[in-house]
């Protein structure tokens, strides 16, 4: 049966079919979105709660713990991590990959609702959730500055006219303002003056709340008209609040201006941010998990001019970070490499065929297959990303294989004197099964990729499907269009074209040398077979010892960083150090701009830490890679005494659930928090001694200075003073307490109560504080006017309390509701992630870490641990899948083994090349080896198909058949191998954006093919002969057993 016959005889139908594939592909290509990688994000939601003035322990016990209890019950929750610090609680919920984000959001909101009754009643705002991963770097940042307006006014405009509009864009997960300067009215009390009037802070707080109200008052609903009641309860200005009477003393009013300063200022004075060196607001846009980065940023850029025009002229917007720049550059570079691969492959075909018309025929299969696959990619909701484009680049070497095999076989018949039509019919019929075998067996290699779970499966699903679709379209083109064109375009044999070209003479000489080599290995079959076994052993040894990794570290032109100062540092010190570090960073010649901020805002969790986002020059304009620049900057930052700087390149594949100082991290769990203070420093000290690891640090901050105000309850009871009384006076003085809210048509402004700044700088200010209580010398009741006169005496705070100094955590981390701490690390040069994980486990044993501790690798390190078993399964599954498919196609248990014997020769070339190059065996390398399984077996398939045909039709011996097949198929084998090798060259040698992803894959394929070509041309015939002998022995044994059985049956009768 000839599957190509119908298409050869119906050229119009065949042409229109190909045209339909091309048109559908072009339409699909135009509609495909761009992205860096396939969408593999875990559905992640963060729940943030802010409680100004609360310590980390208060946040953990009163806010985080009740929320964790309810949120931990959500079905489909994989991990729950929380961080509690001074005034902030952030809980990160990561769900399994099958969970719908919308369903998860509903469950989270329900959990928050159930926890509300257990949360503090005076929370300024309830917990809020966002569909965002805190470990994700913002996809877009704006520096917002003004030379004419204070930042409090700027934020007012930004919140109402900019941030709210950007938040509404589809795919935006969270919009935050680092260094937020939200406008508020700050009532700063002069404590001694207040005390001199006999007024306590409780009275001031209550009065402010009572004189600023915005509540419903009802309506009159008469028989003919209704009248709404309103009260002028809202404070309208700072002057109005200053003139407010808060008490009466000595029969005279005491106004707020007598005892306090009232100013417009930021709601939180503990936040600062800079765009380069200029104080600014930094607007950060984070995407929702699974949202397309380019679509989101394009939509932001589209409305940004309109939004900017709505702002006052004195406000300047400066784009700082745009993640799409490197994504577009990376995709553009892959497209160029794809085009170069197509040109190289077509060049290989022309060199071999030496004829333009003969070159055009197989060359058409490349654009048809690649462009045609775009239609299926669009229907499957894929994107044009690094991996799918790499699949198309690799496919460039595959898709011409079938066409080359077809055209070469038809050309052979033409050289034998047949006319074009007869040659096309005979050649296509003879080679049709081989092409089907090549196609199905190649797709079989990719089947395990389609069924892999977790991140790896999601990551390479698009890759495998895209490659499979391209290969299938290539097979269709090779069985339809190629033979039809051969029947009409190939030159028939004439005396003019019978002349042997120079290149043909070279090929003939190579074939002659190959023939001599075959004769040699046929004379030394045992040695050749033994060397084949040695190749397998050496492959296993290399695979065991080569450094292992998970995913190549990308250079996206952006560095993210964390600065860490002493746990005793004040905001003033941290701010100064942050600016010193920024100056050093900006002096680096490869840095374009940066944004930085300090303060606790839900992204940055402790007051002694700061954050950086650094934008580098384009890759072609830089002197070094992002990783080397990061090391150079951190070395220079050592000059800033008292500050440590950690930098890491931003990655497209973010698997962590929280931001850490370095690229890799693991969690250390223990039910007893005190154990961390003992064992974490020991473990870190041990890890720092290992040269494999670098920049080892942890987020354990248990040494924050604390002044414990301890109430003498007996003394306090005499004055009717309770812990609540003390909490109130301290919170009113030093906690930036939000005591009331002023409502306007477009915004709301808090009224903040606090002591004047000079009283907030030193602990001795506690001497100035007085508590409301029953005192023996209370003033007489002189109450008159609208507010009450204090009737109780004031008791000095230190009369009923003592102050003891100690330490307490600045940050408390929980993992699945148990105490934990994050230890983060980088990997030293020439070391691998596999070496690092082994070193960590060894350090755990060396220090005899108690069994109550549990180590959980996070993010990339966790995915790497899981991938170790997956990688072995992937290779074994690919081999088994190929064996099953080949066994079915050949109806044989033996011949598939012959074909699979080619695999060690390819793997050894790939592994050795990675080792020489200094690259790790990571997911990209594993995929390269898996693809080699599919590529190199074609040599064996083409030989074995012809050998079996020669044995069956021409009745040749196994030796004669495989010898003839090897010589006949040498030319197409060489052509297809060179085509695949040349297709891999652009990936192997490329240096553009994203080349670190493509480089390992190109190395594996190129050098794996070199090794396989040199070895399999000689090992396949020998293995075939051994397998034929084994098959013959098994058949003879089966016949012998059958005859013996017949003899025994006759003897029994």
628-644 confidence digits (pLDDT tens): 999 999 999 999 999 99
Is residue 725 pLDDT above 80, yes or no?
Answer: yes
In this structure, how many other beta carbons lie within 10 angstroms of the beta carbon of residue 903? 25
Confidence of residue 776 (pLDDT cuts 50, 70, 90): very low
Q: Which of 1005, 1000, 997, 999 has the alpha carbon at shortest distance from 327?
A: 997
Q: Mean pLDDT across the stretch 858-887?
A: 77
Whole-prediction pTM value? 0.84
For the residues of 63-95, what is the DSSP string, one character each? IIHHHHHHHTT-TTEEEEEEEEETTEEEEEEEE
For the domain bounded by 184-218+233-266+705-775+784-808, which CATH number is listed? 3.30.2090.10
Assign 292 to helix, strand or coil: coil
Is residue 781 pLDDT above 50, yes or no?
Answer: no
Q: Which of 608, 676, 360 has the alpha carbon at shortest distance from 491?
A: 360
Residue 259 has which token pair?
């005892």
Residues in Cβ contact with 238 at an 8 Å cutoff, skipping those fewer than 6 apart: 185, 262, 263, 264
Integer angstrom CA distances of residue 240 from 410, 422, 744: 97, 102, 16
Angle between helical axes of 324-353 and 293-309 (0-180°, round to 10): 140
pLDDT of res. 189: 94
Q: Mean pLDDT across the stretch 756-784?
A: 73
Is residue 251 pLDDT above 60, yes or no?
Answer: yes
Assign 393 to helix, strand or coil: helix
Confidence of residue 443 (pLDDT cuts 50, 70, 90): confident
Is residue 74 pLDDT above 80, yes or no?
Answer: yes
pLDDT of res. 787: 40
Stronger pLDDT, 748 or 873, i.e. the higher one: 748
Q: Mean pLDDT across the stretch 301-308?
A: 91
Q: Mean pLDDT across the stretch 320-336?
A: 87
- Least confident range from 29-33, 259-263, 791-795, 833-837: namely 791-795
Is residue 1052 pLDDT above 80, yes or no?
Answer: no
**Can you tell me the distance from the alpha carbon of 942 to that of 1016, in angstroms, rounded to the nearest whole number?**
12
pLDDT of res. 905: 82
> From the centroid of its chain, how far is CA 626?
17
Percent of the chain residues past pLDDT 90, beyond the cut: 40
- Least confident range from 26-30, 161-165, 397-401, 914-918: namely 397-401
**Cβ proximity of 849 and 668 under 8 Å:** no
Stronger pLDDT, 956 or 583, i.e. the higher one: 583
**Can you tell me the distance from the alpha carbon of 763 to that of 803, in angstroms, rounded to the nearest whole number?**
10
Is residue 1051 pLDDT above 80, yes or no?
Answer: no
- Digit-coded pLDDT (tens) for 461-519: 888 899 889 989 989 999 999 899 988 888 765 545 555 566 677 888 888 998 999 99
Is residue 873 pLDDT above 80, yes or no?
Answer: no
pLDDT of res. 493: 56
**Can you tell me the distance from the alpha carbon of 187 to that of 209, in angstroms, rounded to the nearest whole number?**
12
**Cβ proximity of 861 and 666 under 8 Å:** yes
The answer to whether the 1-31+324-499 and 138-182+267-322 domains have the same CATH topology is: no
pLDDT of res. 813: 93
- Least confident range from 408-417, 576-585, 769-778, 1017-1026: namely 769-778
Assign 963 to helix, strand or coil: helix
Q: Which of 152, 231, 233 has the alpha carbon at shortest distance from 186?
A: 152
Maximum alpha-carbon separation in the chain: 135
pLDDT of res. 869: 60
Confidence of residue 775 (pLDDT cuts 50, 70, 90): low
Is residue 329 pLDDT above 60, yes or no?
Answer: yes
Residue 387 has which token pair?
């991996």
State the CATH class of domain 502-545+925-1053. mainly alpha
**Cβ proximity of 649 and 551 under 8 Å:** no
Q: Any idea where the domains of the chain sit in the sequence?
A: 1-31+324-499, 35-131, 138-182+267-322, 184-218+233-266+705-775+784-808, 502-545+925-1053
Report, at the CATH architecture level, how domain 1-31+324-499 is classified: Up-down Bundle (1.20)
Topology, domain 138-182+267-322:
Alpha-Beta Plaits (3.30.70)
For the chain, the average pLDDT equals 87
912-941 core/surface letters (b: 16 or more CB in 10 A; e: else):
bbbeeeebbbbbbbbbbbbbbbbbbbbbbb
- Digit-coded pLDDT (tens) for 40-62: 778 899 999 999 989 999 999 99
**Cβ proximity of 614 and 647 under 8 Å:** yes
pLDDT of res. 949: 81
For the domain bounded by 35-131, which CATH number is listed? 3.30.70.1430
**Cβ proximity of 687 and 827 under 8 Å:** no
pLDDT of res. 819: 93
Say which DSSP state 780 is in: P
In this structure, how many other beta carbons lie within 10 angstroms of the beta carbon of residue 429? 16
pLDDT of res. 500: 55
Stronger pLDDT, 358 or 586, i.e. the higher one: 586
Pairing of strands 219-221, 226-228: antiparallel
Q: Which of 637, 646, 634, 563 has the alpha carbon at shortest distance from 599?
A: 563
pLDDT of res. 488: 87
Is residue 454 pLDDT above 80, yes or no?
Answer: no
Is residue 97 pLDDT above 90, yes or no?
Answer: no
**Can you tell me the distance from the alpha carbon of 1006 to that of 1013, in angstroms, rounded to the nearest whole number?**
11
Q: Mean pLDDT across the stretch 162-173?
A: 90
**Cβ proximity of 33 and 292 under 8 Å:** yes
> From the centroid of its chain, how far is CA 350?
42
Phi, psi (5° rounding) for residue 753? -105, 135
Is residue 439 pLDDT above 80, yes or no?
Answer: yes
């Amino acid at each position: 049966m000839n599957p190509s016959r119908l298409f050869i005889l119906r050229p119009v139908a065949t042409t229109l079919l190909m045209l339909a594939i091309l048109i559908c592909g072009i339409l699909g290509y135009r509609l495909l979105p761009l992205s860096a990688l396939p969408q593999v994000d875990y559905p992640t939601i963060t729940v943030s709660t802010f409680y100004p003035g609360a310590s980390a322990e208060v946040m953990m016990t009163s806010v985080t713990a009740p929320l964790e209890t309810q949120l931990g019950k959500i079905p489909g929750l994989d991990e729950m991590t929380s961080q509690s610090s001074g005034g902030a609680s952030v809980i990160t919920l990561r769900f399994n990959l099958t969970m719908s984000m919308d369903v998860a959001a509903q469950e989270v909101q329900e959990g928050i609702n159930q926890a509300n009754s257990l949360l503090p009643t005076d929370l300024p705002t309830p917990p809020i959730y966002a569909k965002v991963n805190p470990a994700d770097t913002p996809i877009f940042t704006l520096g917002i500055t003004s030379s004419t307006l204070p930042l409090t006014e700027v934020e007012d405009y930004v919140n109402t006219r900019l941030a709210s509009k950007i938040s509404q864009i589809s795919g935006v997960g969270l919009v935050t303002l680092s260094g937020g300067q939200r406008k508020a009215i700050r009532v700063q009390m002069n404590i001694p003056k207040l005390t001199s009037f006999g007024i306590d802070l409780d009275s001031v707080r209550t009065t402010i709340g009572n004189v600023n109200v915005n509540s419903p008052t009802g309506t009159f609903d008469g028989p003919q008209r209704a009248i709404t009641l309103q009260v002028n309860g809202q404070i309208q200005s700072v002057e109005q609040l200053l003139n407010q009477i808060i008490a009466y003393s000595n029969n005279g009013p005491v106004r707020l201006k007598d005892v306090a300063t009232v100013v417009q200022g930021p709601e939180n004075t503990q936040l600062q941010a800079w765009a380069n060196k200029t104080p600014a607001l930094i607007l950060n846009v984070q995407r929702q998990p699974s949202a397309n980065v380019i679509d989101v940023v394009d939509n932001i850029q589209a409305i940004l001019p309109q939004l900017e025009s709505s702002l006052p002229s004195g406000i300047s917007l400066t784009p700082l970070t745009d993640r799409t720049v490197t994504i577009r550059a990376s995709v553009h570079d892959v497209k160029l490499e794809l085009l170069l691969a197509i040109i190289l492959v077509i060049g290989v075909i022309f060199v071999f065929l030496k004829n333009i018309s003969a070159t055009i025929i197989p060359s058409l299969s490349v654009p048809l297959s690649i462009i045609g696959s775009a239609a299926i990619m669009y229907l499957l909701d894929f994107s044009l990303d690094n991996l799918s484009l790499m699949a198309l680049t690799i496919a460039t070497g595959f898709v011409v294989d079938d066409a080359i095999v077809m055209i070469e076989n038809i050309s052979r018949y033409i050289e034998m004197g047949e006319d074009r039509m007869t040659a096309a019919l005979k050649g296509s019929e003879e080679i049709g099964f081989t092409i089907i075998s090549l196609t199905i067996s190649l797709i079989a290699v990719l089947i395990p990729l389609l069924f892999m779970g977790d991140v790896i499966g999601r990551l390479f699903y698009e890759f495998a499907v895209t490659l499979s679709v391209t290969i299938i379209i290539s097979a269709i083109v090779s069985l339809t269009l190629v033979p039809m064109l051969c029947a009409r375009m190939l030159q028939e044999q004439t005396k003019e074209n019978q002349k042997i070209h120079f290149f043909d003479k070279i090929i003939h000489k190579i074939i002659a040398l190959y023939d001599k080599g075959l004769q040699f290995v046929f004379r030394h079959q045992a040695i050749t077979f033994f060397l084949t076994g040695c190749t397998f052993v050496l492959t296993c040894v290399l695979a065991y010892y080569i450094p292992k990794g998970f995913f190549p570290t990308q250079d996206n032109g952006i560095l993210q960083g964390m600065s860490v100062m002493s746990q005793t540092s004040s905001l003033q010190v941290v701010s100064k150090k942050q600016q010193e570090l920024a100056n050093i960073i900006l002096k680096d010649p490869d840095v374009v701009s940066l944004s930085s901020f300090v303060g606790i805002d839900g992204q940055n969790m402790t007051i002694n830490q700061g954050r950086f986002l650094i934008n580098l020059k384009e890759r072609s304009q830089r002197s070094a890679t992002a990783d080397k620049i990061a090391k150079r900057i951190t070395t220079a930052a050592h000059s800033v005494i008292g500050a440590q700087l950690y930098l890491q390149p931003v990655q497209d594949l973010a698997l962590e659930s929280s931001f850490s100082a370095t690229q890799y991290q693991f969690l250390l769990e223990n039910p007893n928090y005190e154990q961390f203070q003992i064992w974490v420093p020991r473990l870190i000290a041990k890890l720092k001694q290992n040269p494999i690891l670098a920049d080892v640090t942890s987020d354990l901050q248990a040494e924050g200075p604390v002044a414990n105000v301890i109430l003498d309850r007996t003394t306090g009871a005499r004055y009717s003073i309770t812990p609540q009384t003390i909490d109130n006076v301290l919170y009113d003085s030093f906690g930036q307490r939000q005591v009331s809210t002023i409502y306007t048509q477009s915004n709301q402004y808090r009224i903040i109560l606090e002591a004047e700044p000079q009283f907030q700088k030193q602990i001795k200010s506690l001497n100035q504080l007085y508590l409301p209580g029953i005192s023996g010398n209370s003033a007489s009741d002189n109450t008159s006017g609208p507010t009450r006169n204090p009737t109780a005496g004031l008791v000095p705070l230190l009369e009923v309390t003592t102050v003891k100094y100690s330490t307490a955590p600045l940050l408390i981390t929980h993992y699945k509701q148990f105490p934990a701490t994050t230890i983060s690390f980088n990997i030293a040069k020439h070391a691998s992630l596999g070496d690092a994980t082994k070193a960590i486990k060894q350090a755990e044993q060396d220090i005899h870490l108690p069994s109550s501790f549990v180590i959980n690798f996070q993010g990339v390190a966790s995915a790497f641990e899981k991938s170790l078993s997956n990688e072995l399964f992937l290779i074994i599954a690919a081999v088994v899948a190929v064996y099953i498919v080949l066994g079915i196609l050949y109806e044989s248990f033996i011949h598939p083994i012959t074909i699979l014997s080619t695999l060690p020769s390819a793997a050894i070339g790939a592994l050795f090349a990675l080792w020489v190059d200094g690259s790790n065996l990571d997911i990209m390398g594993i995929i390269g080896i898996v693809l080699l399984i599919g590529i190199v077996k074609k040599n064996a398939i083409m030989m074995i198909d012809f050998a079996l045909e020669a044995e069956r039709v021409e009745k040749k011996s196994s030796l004669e058949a495989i010898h003839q097949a090897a010589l006949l198929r040498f030319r197409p084998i060489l052509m297809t191998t060179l085509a695949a090798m040349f297709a891999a060259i652009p990936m192997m040698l490329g240096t553009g954006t994203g080349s670190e992803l493509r480089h390992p894959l190109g190395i594996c394929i190129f050098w794996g093919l070199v090794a396989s070509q040199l070895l399999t041309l000689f090992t396949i015939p020998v293995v075939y002969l051994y397998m034929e002998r084994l098959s013959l022995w098994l058949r003879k044994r089966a016949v012998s057993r059958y005859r013996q059985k017949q003899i025994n049956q006759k003897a029994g009768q």
